[in-house]
Structure 1
Amino acid sequence: MLAGMHRAVGLMAVVIATSAALAGCTINIDSPDDDRDRRSGMMSDADTAGYDPADLMFARMMIPHHQQAVDMSELAIETSADAEVLALAEQIRDAQTAEIAIMEGWLDDAGVRMPMGDGLDMGDRMGMGGMLSDEEMRALEDASAAEFDQLYLEGMIEHHEGALLMARMILNSDNPDVRALGEAIVESQTAEIELMKQMLDE
């Protein structure tokens, strides 16, 4: 519980700092030596594609965030014997896989490439609330039966809560497609949080 509170507080601080900085920054995608000229024109490229820096920053952070939820859900599909958990895991996997494809399309349209690895520096990681640590992922992988279901639901609730904070950053985007995805994430994941809390209570 305390870890979750600390993560939420840290996330809000980063969101505020990121929002304040976005007006004068570009997206740090590749190393300065490799692609400085392309990045220096990213603002105009993004404008041409219909995305502002906040839209692209959101996609850059949410893609790996969604991918962890997909990985967790794939693990649930392989491990859980609970019909409700299995149905939820399939729902989350399918929805977030589709949303990853949408956000990758934004980056492609804007000429922005995710760098090698997960594409995130330490500042980005701090802003991605609800992400399970390597230790927590290992604990989930090692669990089984009811213990697995509980860890999956508890972890996914926290994961979704972090995603909601991130999604609210784009609800005022000038791009209608970006706004629509933010609204869809808020609506679907709010409902899934309530469902998961009910499943834990039962």
Structure 2
Amino acid sequence: MLLNLNAQIIQDTHQNPPSNQQEKQPISAPKPTPSQTIINAIQEPIMQEKFLESDYLDLNYITNMIPHHQGAIDASQIVLKYSKNPTIRKIAQKIIKDQKAEIEEFGILLPTLETQKKLYSPKEVTLFNQQAKSDKNTMIQEMNDLNLTPNINKNFLALMILHHQCAIDTSKEILKYTQNEQVRALAQRIIQSQEQEIKEFEILLSKARL
């Protein structure tokens, strides 16, 4: 009888090990904060789309600008879910409207650029593509390194400054090379409008309350 009892205890121990020997459950990743969600929203379209580095500089510029704009749209839609600040909401709504309109322009222009003859030297191609990619990578790194605050409104503006600066830098780069007047006009408009917005964002960020 004692042997049978001992055998049962051993069997139960093997089938039901003590709790401290049970397999530990994996620890789930912490839920991202609203501000981190905004960063992810900006970066995801850019990271998901293959960065175009063809011999057609105008095509590269316009193609790569589409996911860049989409990131700003997605981020602005997220901040509208969280922010009740009327100024921030107005900015987000304007970004959505403006960047959607420009994406439509890009889409209309793309078929023309896809049939455009090669206009640029290998050196020009290399210089533009390298700098455009560097601009993108710099933006992503600076966003990831940004010291986020508990204030989603200020975080949103700081992220949009980095986003807009990348578009400005790449637009200035294409102006060095482009022979396409439509691309030139678009790049000049992006520079002008987004430089103005950066100035507005910096003024707002300097305010103690937002």
CA offset at residue 170 of structure 1?
Answer: 2.5
**Is the 8 Å Cα contact of residues 129 and 162 (structure 1) preserved in structure 2?**
no
> For 1:120-155, what per-residue CA distance to the aligned partner results, in whole angstroms no more than 9, with x for missing partners?
xxx97544156457x95xx98xx9xx6110110111
Relative to structure 1, is the Cα distance of residues 130 and 160 closer, same or farther in structure 2, using a 3 angstrom cutoff? farther
Tell me, in whole angstroms, the C-alpha distance in 1 between the residues paired with 2:155 and 2:162. 11
Residue identity in the other structure for 2:86 = A
Tell me which residue corresponds to 2:98: 95
Q: Is 1:84 the equivalent of 2:87?
A: yes
Aligned length: 138
**Is the 8 Å Cα contact of residues 135 and 169 (structure 2) preserved in structure 1?**
no
Tell me which residue corresponds to 1:153: 157
Gaps of 5+ in 2: 1-51, 116-130
Question: Per chain length, whose mean CA-contact separation is higher, i.e. which structure has more relative contact order (CA < 8 Å, sep 6+)?
Answer: 1
**Is the 8 Å Cα contact of residues 59 and 114 (structure 2) preserved in structure 1?**
no
CA offset at residue 108 of structure 1?
Answer: 2.6
CA offset at residue 107 of structure 1?
Answer: 2.1
**Structure of higher CA gyration radius:** 2
1:179 to 181, 184, 187: 184
Percent identity, aligned pairs only, is: 29
**Is the 8 Å Cα contact of residues 161 and 201 (structure 2) preserved in structure 1?**
yes
CA offset at residue 171 of structure 1?
Answer: 2.4
Task: Calculate the TM-score normalised by the size of structure 1.
Answer: 0.59
Residue identity in the other structure for 1:64 = P
> SS at the partner of 1:81?
coil
Q: How does 1:1-202 map to 2 (within 5 A)?
A: 27-28=53-54, 53-111=56-114, 126-128=134-136, 131-132=139-140, 147-172=151-176, 173-202=178-207
Tell me, in whole angstroms, the C-alpha distance in 2 between the residues paired with 1:96 and 1:130. 21
Gaps of 5+ in 1: 1-25, 29-42, 44-52, 113-122
CA RMSD of aligned residues (A): 2.9
Relative to structure 1, is the Cα distance of residues 82 and 156 closer, same or farther in structure 2, using a 3 angstrom cutoff? same
